[in-house]
Amino acid sequence: MSKKLIVVESPTKARTLGRFLPNSFQILASYGHIRDLPAKKLGILVSQNFQPQYEYLEDKKKIIDSLLSAAREVEEIILATDPDREGEAIAFHLDYLFHDKLKKVPQVKRITFHEITQEAIKKALRHPGRIDGNLVQAQQARRLLDRLVGYKLSPLLWYKVRRGLSAGRVQSVVVRLIYEREKEIQAFKPQEYWQVQARFLGEKELLDKFELVKINAGKVKIHSKAELEKLLKWLEKSSYHIASLKRQKITSHPAPPLITSTLQQLASIKYGFNASRTMRTAQALYEKGLITYHRTDSFNLAELSLKEMRQFIKNNYGDEYLPPRPNIYRRKSKLAQEAHEAIRPTKVEIKPQSSQVRSLSRDEGKIYELIWKRSLASQMADWQGERLVVEIGGKKEGNTALFRRRGWRTLFSGWRQLSVSEKEDKELPFFKHLKEGESVSLKKLIPEQKFTLPPKRYTDASLIKKLEEMGIGRPSTYAPILSKIRERRYVEKEEKKFKLTNLGKAVTEFLLRYFPKVMDYNFTARMEDSLDAIAQGEKKWVRLIADFWKWFEPLLGEVKTKAERVKIEVEKIGEKCPKCGGELVIRIGKYGKFISCSNYPKCNYTREYVEKTGLKCSECGGEVIIRRTRKGRRYYACSNYPKCKWMSWRKPR
C-alpha cells in the first residue's frame, strides 16, 4: 500500500485525524502559514502589477524541513487545511513549497471538510479537489491591501504623531466607531424625568407594578418634582377601573443555529468572553472533532444532521416538540455560502452533560453547550404562549390617566426547553380574576426620579453586531481586529466595555482629517464586498489594488508635506514632579500607562501608574490594584507584590 502524507494546520487537528485513518497515512502539521510577505520591507512589487514577494518564514525552518523530508517518502500529498480563504492560502503555499524544493514531486491533492469525523474524512478522501484559486486571490488581495495601508500609513503616524504607532485598513475604522461613541457620551447632557408606578387592589387580587403611560390621552412627560407633586395630588383622588383587558395567543419561532458572528456575540453576552477567547475555544472544539467548522456565515444544516437532530428531539422530548418538517433558515446577505454549514455539534448524541464534554476545559464546555443547545433548539417546535395587557383608567375633574402592565405565560415550552436566547425573558404574574369595567382602588403611588442615560460604550457583542450590520470586516476577522486595537493602546477595556484612549483619539482625528476615504464606513464596506467578489471569481485582485493605489499613493506624499504634527492629550494627576517641579501626567507607553513629568525630555522622571480599586487583598490585607498584561488585558493584583503574589482576572468581591 502506498504511503500518503496529509498536511493540516495544527497538531491537535492532526491527532484527531489520526484516530480515523490507517497507518498508511502520515499526518503532519504546518503550524499555520509557512510563507508570508517579508517582515522588514514592503514585499510588493508595485510597478509589476503588485506582485507579492513571499518568503519562507524563518521560524518555520524545522517544520518546513520535516514536511519536505516526509514528502520525499510518499507517493501522494493531501492538503487538508481549513475550508476558508486562510486555509486555502496555506494550502497554496504548501503546494508551492513542494514544487519549489522537491526534484520529484508526488501527486498533490486538496481535500476539504467541515467537520472532523470519520465519515466526513472518508468522503473528502474519495472526492479530492483542487486548490481554489479565487479564494487564494481573495486572501492575497486582503493581505496586500492591509500591507500597503499599514506599511505606508504607519511610518507617517510615527512622523506626525508618535513613534511605534500603526494604522490598519479595517482596524482604524473600528477605532473610529469607538471614537464617535465616546464623543456622543461626552456631549450627552442628562435630563431629569419621573416615572410613576401604582399598586391597586381588585376584588380578588393585588394589582402591582402598573406604570403610568398616559395623561389626558398624551404621553407622560414629568420633568420636575413640582410637576410630579401636582400630578400626584389628583391621581390620589381619582377613581379607577379596569379600562381594558386583552389576551392574545402568541408564538415564537426558534432562532437559527449559530454562525461565527452570533457565536461571538452570544458568548460575550452570556459569559463575558471576548471574541478571541471564543474563537480560540471553538477552534479547539473543531480540532477535537466535536463541532463543525466555526468560521461560517451560513445557517444551512446538512440533511443528515437534520435527520439526526429530529430523531433526537423525538426520542428525548416527544413528538409534540418536533415540527412537521425541518426548520430552514436563510440569510438575506449575499455572503452566505449554502455549501457551508452553520456551527453545530458533529454528533448530537454527545450532550453537554456527557463524560466526553465534562473532560473538556471549562471554556470548551461552555462554548460546546451554547452550540449544542442552539443547534437543537433551532429544529424544535415553536414556543406558544398567551400575552396579557391590562390597562387601568383613572378620572378626576376632567383629567384622565392610564396605567398599564404587560405579562405573558407559557402554554407550550417548545424550543425554550433549550433556550439560549440573547435576552432571557421572565414570565410575569398572570391576572386571572379581572373583568373589564371592574372598579379597583388605588393602594399606593410609587414615583421614581430618573435621568436619561448616555449611549452605552461598546462591548464585544455590541461592537461585532454593529460591524456586521455595517458590512465592515468579516466574522473571521473580528477577533484579531478587536485584539489588535487593544494591543496598540488605542482603546482599553473597562468593565468589559471599550473605552477610547487619548492616543486612540489623536490617531483617529489625524486619520479623519487627512485620510477621510480610508476612514469612510461605506468605502470600507465596499472593499469587503470587492474581496468577496474576488473569492467568487467575479472580480480581479490586481484591478482592485491598482484602483486603490491610484489615489492612495499621491495622498501619502501630500499629507507628509502638509500635515501638522499632532500633540497627544495627557491627563494631569494633580501632583508636582519631585525632580523639577513640573506637572506629573499619565502617558501610554509600550507596556501601558505610566506617570511621567510633563517637561519630558528635559526631565526624565517616571514612575509606575497604579490604578487603585479600594479593595483589600484576601491573603495579606494589602491594597488591590489593577495591572495590565503586555497585550492590555486587565487583572487584579496585590500592591505588595512580589511579597504577596495574589492575583485574579475577575474583580474580587
Count CB atoms within 10 A of the CB of residue 411: 13
The residue type found at 81 is T
Per-residue confidence (pLDDT) for residue 424, from 0 to 100:
44
Task: Find the Cα–Cα–Cα–Cα dihedral 160, 164, 167, 168, rounded to 10°.
Answer: 170
pLDDT digits (tens, 9 = 90+) for 558-601: 999 999 899 888 778 888 999 998 989 988 776 677 899 988 88
Kindly indicate the confidence band of residue 612, based on its pLDDT and cuts at 50, 70 and 90. Answer: confident
Residue bearing cell 503555499: 93
Helix count and strand count (H, E) for the chain = 17, 25
Answer whether residue 423 shows pLDDT above 50: no
Higher pLDDT, 263 or 488: 263
Q: Which of 293, 321, 329, 368 is catalytic?
A: 293
Answer whether residue 432 shows pLDDT above 80: no
Kindly indicate the confidence band of residue 422, based on its pLDDT and cuts at 50, 70 and 90. Answer: very low
- Please provide residue 584's backbone torsions phi and psi, each rounded to the nearest 5 degrees: -90, 135
Identify whether the C-beta of residue 34 lies closer than 8 Å to the C-beta of residue 55: no
In this structure, of 174-178, 305-309, 645-649, the range with the lowest mean pLDDT score is: 645-649
Per-residue confidence (pLDDT) for residue 393, from 0 to 100:
97
Return all residues near 524 (Cβ < 8 A) that are at least 6 apart.
Answer: 169, 170, 173, 472
What radius of gyration do the chain's Cα atoms show? 30
How far is the C-alpha of 629 from the C-alpha of 631, rounded, in Å?
5
How far is the C-alpha of 551 from the C-alpha of 155, rounded, in Å?
18
Query: Which whole number is the average pLDDT over 608-632?
Result: 83
In this structure, of 23-32, 191-200, 243-252, 588-597, the range with the lowest mean pLDDT score is: 588-597
β-pairing, 583-589 with 592-597? Answer: antiparallel
Alpha helices in 85-132 (DSSP H): 85-101, 118-126
In this structure, of 256-270, 326-340, 578-592, the range with the lowest mean pLDDT score is: 326-340
Return all residues near 562 (Cβ < 8 A) that are at least 6 apart.
Answer: none
Q: Positive or negative CA dihedral for 376, 378, 382, 385?
A: positive
Query: Which whole number is the average pLDDT over 610-614?
Result: 82
Buried b (16+ CB within 10 A) or exposed e, 485-507: bbebbbbbbeeebbbbbbbbbbb
Q: Which of 364, 337, 334 is nearest to 352 (CA)?
A: 364
Return all residues near 357 (Cβ < 8 A) that are at least 6 apart.
Answer: 290, 350, 351, 365, 368, 369
Reduced 3-state DSSP string for 159-187: HHCCCCCCCCCCHHHHHHHHHHHHHHHHH
Answer whether residue 1 shows pLDDT above 60: no
pLDDT digits (tens, 9 = 90+) for 216-240: 989 999 999 999 999 999 999 999 9
Answer whether residue 430 shows pLDDT above 80: no
How far is the C-alpha of 109 from the C-alpha of 606, rounded, in Å?
59
HSE-up of 14 (CA within 13 Å, CB side)?
17
Per-residue confidence (pLDDT) for residue 16, from 0 to 100:
94
In this structure, of 45-59, 72-86, 120-134, 608-622, the range with the lowest mean pLDDT score is: 608-622
Domains of the chain: 4-131 (3.40.50.140), 139-187+458-562 (1.10.460.10), 195-252+388-416+442-451 (2.70.20.10), 260-377 (1.10.290.10), 571-648 (no CATH)
Answer whether residue 318 shows pLDDT above 80: yes
How far is the C-alpha of 79 from the C-alpha of 95, rounded, in Å?
8
Per-residue confidence (pLDDT) for residue 632, from 0 to 100:
64
Kindly indicate the confidence band of residue 650, based on its pLDDT and cuts at 50, 70 and 90. Answer: confident
Instruction: Please say if 293 is a catalytic residue.
Output: yes
Q: What's the gap between Cα 368 and its chain centre?
A: 17
Query: Which whole number is the average pLDDT over 102-131?
Result: 94
Residue bearing cell 468560521: 295
β-pairing, 206-215 with 192-201? Answer: antiparallel
In this structure, of 387-391, 396-400, 427-431, 433-437, the range with the lowest mean pLDDT score is: 427-431
How far is the C-alpha of 403 from the C-alpha of 389, rounded, in Å?
11
Answer whether residue 353 shows pLDDT above 60: yes
- Please provide residue 6's backbone torsions phi and psi, each rounded to the nearest 5 degrees: -110, 130
Q: Which residues pair with 491 in a beta bridge?
A: 500
Alpha helices in 288-394 (DSSP H): 303-317, 355-358, 362-377
Answer whether residue 361 shows pLDDT above 80: yes
C-alpha angle with apex 172: 171 to 177, nearest 5 degrees? Answer: 95
In angstroms, how far apart are the furthest CA atoms of the chain?
101
Answer whether residue 609 shows pLDDT above 90: no
Provide the mean pLDDT of the chain. 92
Q: Which of 303, 282, 304, 277 is nearest to 292 (CA)?
A: 282
Kindly indicate the confidence band of residue 254, based on its pLDDT and cuts at 50, 70 and 90. Answer: very high
Per-residue confidence (pLDDT) for residue 180, from 0 to 100:
98
